Amino acid sequence: MYSPNFKITVSTVLLFIVCLTSKAQTGTVRNIPTDSLVQNVDDFPYFKGGIRAWSRFLQNNLDLTRTVGAMDSVAYVKYGSKQTAILNFIVCEDGDICNIEIENREKVSPEFAKAVLAAMRKSPQWMPALVKGKPVKTKFRQPVVAVLE
């Protein structure tokens, strides 16, 4: 699947909510008005099963074949062997995610950006943010890191 010269490590770190405007990237477009988002929540949204489950999901769904194939000397100079896509998306009350966008698209290779977005479109429902125990719609920011060696 991958060239033996490359060791691919995918790691993630959950970050806090960031309110930024984004456009829909998913197959099912949900028009989520930004004024309906809750900014201050009691409990942040998270991937069901936690960080380990999120890492497993990425390992099973993030196909870096094209990213590795496109990493020539020019791409290494421009993007480096470590690429971090910063995702912004909305987690709805029911846990669906939508309005997925890569915040730093100019700092990652186009192939890596496509792979990350494709994986995110396959994401199962998340646990939604809570305010006073009630699920609410909110923005979330999540980095996805790939190290190509």
Burial class of residue 8 (count of CB atoms within 10 Å of its CB; 0-12, 13-18, 19+): middle
Task: Give 118's pLDDT tier (boundaries 50, 70, 90).
Answer: very high
Spatial separation of the C-alpha atoms in residues 123 and 71, rounded to whole Å: 26
Residue 131 has pLDDT above 90, yes or no: yes
What SS3 state is found at 108?
coil
Phi and psi (nearest 5°) for 144? -125, 125
Task: Report CA torsion sign: 124, 99, 42, 59.
Answer: positive
Contact 9, 147 (CB under 8 A): yes
Can you give the pLDDT at residue 100? Answer: 95
* Core vs surface per residue 82-110: b (16+ CB within 10 A) or e: ebbbbbbbbbbeebbbbbbbbeeeebbbe
Closest to 9 (Cα-Cα) out of 113, 120, 148, 112? 148
The residue written with tokens 């993630």 in the block is 12
Can you give the pLDDT at residue 36? Answer: 78
Can you give the pLDDT at residue 120? Answer: 96
- 49-81 residue pLDDT tens: 999 999 999 999 999 999 999 888 898 899 999
What pTM value is reported for the model? 0.75
What SS3 state is found at 33?
coil
